Amino acid sequence: MNDLIARLFVLLQQLLPKSLLTAFVYHVARVRWGPLKNFLIRRFVALYDVDTSKLLHSVPEGYPNFNHFFIRELSPGARTIDSGTNTIISPVDGTVSARGHIEDDDIFQAKGLHYSLTDLLATDTDEATIYRGGSFITLYLAPYNYHRVHAPLTGEIKSAHYIPGTLFSVNDSTVRCLPMLFARNERVACHVQTASGPMVILFVGAINVGTIYTKWTGDIRPRHKGIAEDIDLSRSGRSFDKGETIGWFNLGSTVILLLPPGTSNQFVGISAGDTVSMGQAIGTLRDSR
């Protein structure tokens, strides 16, 4: 029965005007009229049982609109950043959707479903080749999660690409039923250099995600059509420290990390379904380059 419900949910998404709904949510989430934004925040907290005990601002009065609440900051010390020199930390609070080895050009999505590394990056095939035989981890941010994205390692961004696409949900039901989900949805691929080699931090959009934000791009609104675009990185400094905030989702989505072969332990020690917190060690570097 659960599989049937999941397939019906995917079918419903195929019929829905996802772009129109996302645009509507974008505008409603930015309404500053106190009674409405306070109602939305209170209902959201109650519906999703959001933990508000470690937030920087009071709820709902401390937020000018619902979107500011959604991209809320945590109080100092609310998360501990693992300081190990060889550890990769979780960039987000979320749930592990999948992790492991990249088989040539093939990345595991869910039981019976895979997607292409080349399609995911949708850029120069030389960039995809770097990660063949490497490792990946897919982290899902549920609506109740803290939605800021932090650097999993100290590094420097070298290039970034916006890849237009559709806006399917990225929840567990859709991941289990919709082939090539992450290579279909819109996304921003950040190619970075670390002391241990290159890495990709990939922000995947989804239905109701009105924007994806990174410190280098500012807000990126969904476009859905066209080809992958190079992003001008002059907006902010290129270097960042492990644990530093590098972006956020304006409503929930997914982050995928890609590392080349021989760089990490392939995130052994955690499994699909595990809950992780930003700053928690999720992997280990094998060597320095």
**Model confidence over 51-74: pLDDT tens digits?**
999 999 999 999 999 999 999 999
Strand (E) or helix (H) holding 149: strand 148-150
Give pLDDT tens digits for 13-49.
667 676 777 777 778 888 999 999 999 999 999 999 9
At residue 202, the pLDDT reads 96
Give pLDDT tens digits for 103-162.
999 999 988 899 999 999 987 778 899 999 999 999 999 989 999 999 999 999 999 999
Cα(93)–Cα(147) distance, rounded to whole angstroms? 7
In this structure, the answer to whether residues 44 and 158 fall within a common structural domain is no
In this structure, the answer to whether residues 58 and 124 fall within a common structural domain is no
Q: Which of 24, 42, 70 is the last residue of a domain?
A: 70
Query: Where in the sequence numbering do the catalytic residues fall?
Result: 93, 150, 253
In this structure, the answer to whether residues 179 and 105 fall within a common structural domain is yes
Domain encompassing residue 135:
87-284
Q: Are 57 and 72 in contact (CB under 8 A)?
A: yes
Which residues partner with 103 through β-bridges? 106
Per-residue pLDDT band for 84 (boundaries 50, 70, 90) equals very high
Cα(148)–Cα(163) distance, rounded to whole angstroms? 20
In this structure, the answer to whether residues 61 and 178 fall within a common structural domain is no
Question: Is the pLDDT higher at 282 or at 25?
Answer: 282
In this structure, the answer to whether residues 49 and 127 fall within a common structural domain is no
Please tell me whether the overall predicted TM-score, pTM, comes out greater than 0.85 for this model: yes
The number of distinct structural domains making up the chain is 2
In this structure, the answer to whether residues 7 and 100 fall within a common structural domain is no
